[in-house]
Amino acid sequence: MTKLNISDVGYGLMGFTWTPHPTPDDQAFAAMKASIDAGITFWNAGSFYNLPDNPYANLKLIARYFTKYPEDAPKIVLSVKTCVNPANLGVELKPEQIREHIDAVLKALDGKVRVGILEPARMDPAIPVEDVIPVIAEYVKAGKIDGIGLSEVGKETLKRANAVHPIAAVELEFSMTARHIIEDGTAQVAAELGIPVIGYSPFSRGVIAGRYKSAKEGADKLALFGFDQFKEDNLNHNWKLYDKVKAVADAKGATPAQVVLAWIKYQSGRNGNPRIVPIPGATTVERVRENFKPVTLTDEEFADLDTFVRNFKVSGDRYNEHSRKFLSV
């Protein structure tokens, strides 16, 4: 497996295309370029990050970027989630389906950039991981991709997968409203195996970063996606996390987003944790520069904030009932 140069913070590209109004190329390209200028070497994408009438939009955007800026391609480790039917978001992990998805990923990228890590976006409880990994490994052995990742798996699946083929990274939700990977031991297993955790949704869908003006506004917009934590009654309670982060940020002369990323980075590689690489998304140069401006917490600042987070009981589950069967498989 190729040694991958993954920066301490990565860049999530979902927001550019999984929306009724995709970001125009000039705006997207400027934001993507700004991430590279900030020293980011890891981008996270998805073959299904699009609406049905715009297939592979996320990957095609990336291909267009590297067509314009081919000199940037060697600087980036690109992780791509796939093996999901974009029409119904069903998991597709039979061998022939895996090959179809990977071939489609490579076709959409058009050779403009290598796939550093190929991830099945979810596992199917009915299909053993031992049947999935060897199919992806065919593409590693053929030199078509550099490494294999997993997403939303539990510690036993991670161990079993790594026994079949080295796992380059595991993508797991990690935020102030989602600390389950530390509580259930998955993070510790990743550390023992030397597998970095790619922490998605570090801002709790934007809530803890101050994206919304109120709990009601956040609930109104996030309820469409079925995230139980962000139903109005739950979010009225969970909003207290934002209030705490905002207070720390104001005292520090930072933004809430910067404080959240600093809280995550503080834990990376410490106290038995694996390396944790948060992947905030942003669609404007201004937000990219804000997210990737280095901010650190003192030991005292971290202890104060982390004590509050650990003692705070989050209201509601991460996902709705339909989605939960594919989590931590």
pLDDT of residue 319: 59
pLDDT digits (tens, 9 = 90+) for 116-161: 999 999 999 999 999 999 999 999 999 999 999 999 999 999 999 9
Confidence of residue 206 (pLDDT cuts 50, 70, 90): confident
pLDDT of residue 224: 59
Task: Tell me the torsion sign for CA atoms 115, 80, 82, 125.
Answer: positive
d(CA 181, CA 159): 14
Q: Which two tokens stand for residue 37?
A: 């200028």
* Segment among 9-18, 70-79, 224-233, 234-243 with least mean pLDDT: 224-233
pLDDT digits (tens, 9 = 90+) for 158-173: 999 999 999 999 999 9
Is 248 exposed, middle or buried, given 0-12, 13-18 or 19+ CB atoms closer than 10 A?
buried
pLDDT of residue 270: 93
- Give yes or no for residue 86 having a pLDDT over 80: yes
Catalogue the active-site residues: 49
Mean pLDDT across the chain: 92
Choice between 188 and 3, residue whose per-residue pLDDT is larger: 188
User: Taking a C-beta distance cutoff of 8 angstroms, is the pair 211, 184 a contact?
Assistant: no
- Give yes or no for residue 322 having a pLDDT over 60: no
| Of 206, 173, 204, the residue nearest 314 (C-alpha) | 204
- Give yes or no for residue 56 having a pLDDT over 80: yes
Confidence of residue 60 (pLDDT cuts 50, 70, 90): very high
Confidence of residue 94 (pLDDT cuts 50, 70, 90): very high
State mean pLDDT over 302-311: 96
Scan for tokens 């550093």, then name that residue. 116
Domains plus CATH for the chain?
11-212+257-296 (3.20.20.100)
pLDDT digits (tens, 9 = 90+) for 230-277: 888 888 898 999 999 999 999 999 999 999 999 999 999 999 999 999
pLDDT of residue 122: 94
Long-range contacts of 268-274 (CB under 8 A, 24+ apart): 268/8, 272/187, 272/188, 272/191, 273/182, 273/187, 273/188, 273/191, 274/187, 274/188, 274/190, 274/191, 274/194, 274/195, 274/196, 274/197
- Give yes or no for residue 324 having a pLDDT over 90: no
pLDDT of residue 284: 97
